[in-house]
Structure 1
Amino acid sequence: MRLLPLALFSLLASYASADTFQVEVEVPRLRVAEYHAPYVAFWVENADRSTIVPLGLWYDDQEKWLKDIRQWWRRTGRGQQKPYDGLTGATRSPGKHQMDFSELQSLQKLPADEYQLVVEASREVGGREVVRLPFQWPASNHQQQQVNGTSELGTVTLSVRP
């Protein structure tokens, strides 16, 4: 009977010690004649791009447009099948959107190293944009990186905590 509380404590301790990995993405309101919400892909890669961890994908039922998220498609997308790896969801309307990728096992299993979060957005009848945010994994202290997109993405913020 004593093993159950000990096992539960071990499970909770391992969860509590997991690093947090949160991303906020701003989808800008564009003044264009034909607006379509962007398809957005999130992934992590190391400096030589040999380690690729898919984190998330926003898209709708028109899978034919996934190829327009060019870097994601070449690096990891075309090798995946539906359901796509990571956290998927529908495209998002203009505004700020928060995601928490902390519980993804593929992220938690990454070896200690320097990485980049890559966010790529593409719109039908629109443009394409890629931003990169560097970070250290696992986190030894709180890291916050921010970059401002110029067309398809607004402000992208990465927050990594031990």
Structure 2
Amino acid sequence: MRVLLFTCVLAASLGMSSFTSAAKVEVAFEIPRIDTERYVFPYVAIWAENGRVSKPLLVWHLQKKEDEWLSDLRRWWRKIGRYDQHVDSMTGATKGPGHYTESFEINEWDTFKLYLEVSRQDGGHSLVKTEINTTDSTHHYHIPAEAEIGNVTVTVTN
């Protein structure tokens, strides 16, 4: 009887350990207004990486059948874009200058690198990243602005 009870408790605890709480990751960023003769809305990609594994989270692009400019998101293209046949599942149209906030759930990893890449057709390119630890007491991460992207704030809640 004790063996059966112990086995049931062990099985239940092992089963519950597979249920990890998903971390909600909120990414607030700005697309700055750039003074140029011909301004084209930028492409934006957000994804997470843990070692060699990548998880696509968002892509803003023109959404044409043959979108030749997606490869301008160079790191995203090398890691995810050229291999992913289902890129439309997380895409949206390009957006102009302004403040944006996007939320994602990451339940696969406790630590990962979060990437945000922005590129404009015939314009500039920016790639920013930060190491995220969902078990750490730090819940806000700040990434300084670059040419094509303003300040980025990442907020993690469990």
Other-structure match for 2:83: 79
Larger radius of gyration between Structure 1 and Structure 2? 2
Matched, 1:160 2:156: yes
- The unaligned stretches of length 5 or more in structure 1 are 1-13
Instruction: State the percentage of identical aligned residues.
Output: 34
TM-score w.r.t. length of structure 1: 0.77
Instruction: State the Cα distance separating 1:84 from its structure 2 match.
Output: 3.4
Other-structure match for 1:90: 93
Q: Which residue, 114, 117, 126 being the options, matches 1:117?
A: 114
Other-structure match for 2:12: none
Matched, 1:101 2:104: yes
Q: Which residue, 28, 35, 38 being the options, matches 2:32?
A: 28
Other-structure match for 2:60: 58
Q: After TM superposition, what 4+ stretches of structure 1 lie above 2 angstroms from structure 2?
A: 82-85, 139-142
- The unaligned stretches of length 5 or more in structure 2 are 1-18
Alpha-carbon distance in structure 2 between the residues aligned to 1:65 and 1:160: 31
Alpha-carbon distance in structure 2 between the residues aligned to 1:45 and 1:122: 20
Aligned residues: 138
RMSD over aligned CA atoms reads: 1.9
Instruction: Indicate conservation of the 8 Å contact 1:23/1:159, yes or no.
Output: yes
3-state DSSP class of the match of 2:75? helix
Q: Which residue, 141, 145, 148 being the options, matches 1:145?
A: 141
Instruction: State the Cα distance separating 1:24 from its structure 2 match.
Output: 0.8
Alpha-carbon distance in structure 2 between the residues aligned to 1:55 and 1:40: 11
Alpha-carbon distance in structure 2 between the residues aligned to 1:140 and 1:18: 14
Instruction: State the Cα distance separating 1:83 from its structure 2 match.
Output: 4.0
Residue 82 to residue 51, structure 1, CA distance change in 2 (3 Å):
closer
3-state DSSP class of the match of 1:120? strand
3-state DSSP class of the match of 1:84? helix
Instruction: Indicate conservation of the 8 Å contact 2:81/2:87, yes or no.
Output: no
Alpha-carbon distance in structure 2 between the residues aligned to 1:72 and 1:132: 12
Q: Which residue, 37, 44, 51 being the options, matches 1:40?
A: 44
